[in-house]
Amino acid sequence: MPEGPEIRRAADTLEAAIKGKPLTQAWFAFDSLKAFEPTLVGQTVTHIETRGKALLTHFSGGLTLYSHNQLYGVWRVVDADEQPESKRVLRVKLQTADKAILLYSASDIAMLTPEQLNTHPFLQRVGPDVLDERLTSKEVRARLLSRPFRNRQFSGLFLDQAFLAGLGNYLRVEILWECGLAATHKASELTDKQLNALSEALLAIPRLSYATRGNVDDNKHHGALFRFKVFHRDGEPCERCGGVIERTMMSSRPFYWCPHCQQ
């Protein structure tokens, strides 16, 4: 399952294909969006924003296309007028003179005005995005200690997009290993030093993953700046303490950790 860094990389690819180029065609599968097709022709995509696993495609006329891939949605970049063979169902096509971006299989799609953007149910529920450079570790620390989150175990909290958008399974295990914390810990139990370290890691590790990896390869551990220390490494020695990395289930997802140094 892609997490924040992979979603942001996908958005970067879409931006590189069509950003700033006048649209020659806009097509939507849903009747509720058909009226926007002529409106968007001639406009440009100004930027594509990520909010966790949702993409916000902003147009020069002020509208924003909201899309959430959920389990089956996928974006593709093709040459203009190319019609690739696919068993997936095409939902959105945005085309310029030379490139087109296609959204397949997603069903959670809407066109939003600036006012609707501020009241959209999903966007209101999700927390700040970990890849938003405006978000600081001080703000993350305050969020950890806030009433809704301070007494929740990290195993579930770090999968809850209402806490921080963009976190997921591989990020939660890598962040907790980095800080030497067990999944059963809660923010209310931590020392100031632990809280500060965790607050910094919650931003630093996703941003490092985005900057240096892009796609996750579960079976290879490269010598790049970001590589898995525990994820999918059960049975291997912990490089920090030499203990054996174990695999268990936490919040219905596979969890990897070192029992020896994540006390």
Sequence ranges of the domains in the chain: 4-125, 137-257
Q: What's the average model confidence in pLDDT over 75-91?
A: 94
Over range 164-191, report the average pLDDT. 96
Contacts of 132 (CB under 8 A, 6+ apart): none
pTM over 0.75: yes
Cα end-to-end distance, the chain, whole Å: 28
Which one-letter amino acid corresponds to residue 41? Answer: V
Q: What are phi and psi of 176, to 5 degrees?
A: -65, -40
Does residue 225 register a pLDDT over 80? no
Q: Is 206 a catalytic residue?
A: no
**What is the identity of the amino acid at 235?**
G
Phi-psi region of 262 (alpha: psi -120 to 50; beta: other; left: phi over 0): beta
Q: Is 3 a catalytic residue?
A: yes
φ and ψ at residue 16, rounded to 5 degrees:
-60, -30
Coil, strand or helix at 148: coil
| Residue 227: band (very low, low, confident or very high) from pLDDT cuts 50, 70, 90 | confident
Contacts 24+ apart (CB under 8 A), 197-200: 198/144, 199/137, 199/138, 199/140, 199/141, 199/144, 200/137
Region of residue 124 (phi > 0: left; psi between -120 and 50: alpha; otherwise: beta): alpha
- pLDDT for res 179: 97
- Across the range 148-165, mean pLDDT stands at 97
Q: Specify the amino acid at residue 117.
A: L
- Active-site choice (3, 6, 174, 200): 3
**Residue 99 pLDDT greater than 80, yes or no:** yes
CB 178 within 8 A of CB 99: no
Name the band, by pLDDT with cuts 50, 70 and 90, for residue 213.
low
pLDDT greater than 90 at residue 116: yes
Known catalytic membership, residue 253: yes
Instruction: Kindly name the residue from 2, 15, 37, 247 that is annotated as catalytic.
Output: 2
CA distances from 212 to 63, 130, 206, 216, 227 (A): 32, 16, 10, 11, 9
Options 8, 53, 141, 233, the catalytic residue: 53
Domain with residues 137-257, CATH architecture: Orthogonal Bundle (1.10)
Annotation marks residue 53 as catalytic: yes
How confident is the model over 21-35, as pLDDT tens digits? 999 999 999 999 999
Q: Look at residue 135 in the predicted model and tell me its pLDDT.
A: 96
Structure tokens at 173: 């295990």
Count Cβ atoms within 10 A of the Cβ of residue 20 and give its class: 0-12 exposed, 13-18 middle, 19 or more buried: exposed
Q: Does domain 4-125 bear CATH number 1.10.287.110?
A: no
Averaged over 188-217, what is the pLDDT? Answer: 88
Task: Name the pLDDT band for 218 (thresholds 50, 70, 90).
Answer: very low
* Residue ranges with strand state E in the chain: 25-28, 45-51, 54-59, 64-68, 74-79, 90-95, 99-104, 108-112, 246-250, 253-257
Q: Which residue out of 19, 21, 152, 253 is catalytically annotated? A: 253
pLDDT at residue 107 in the model: 86
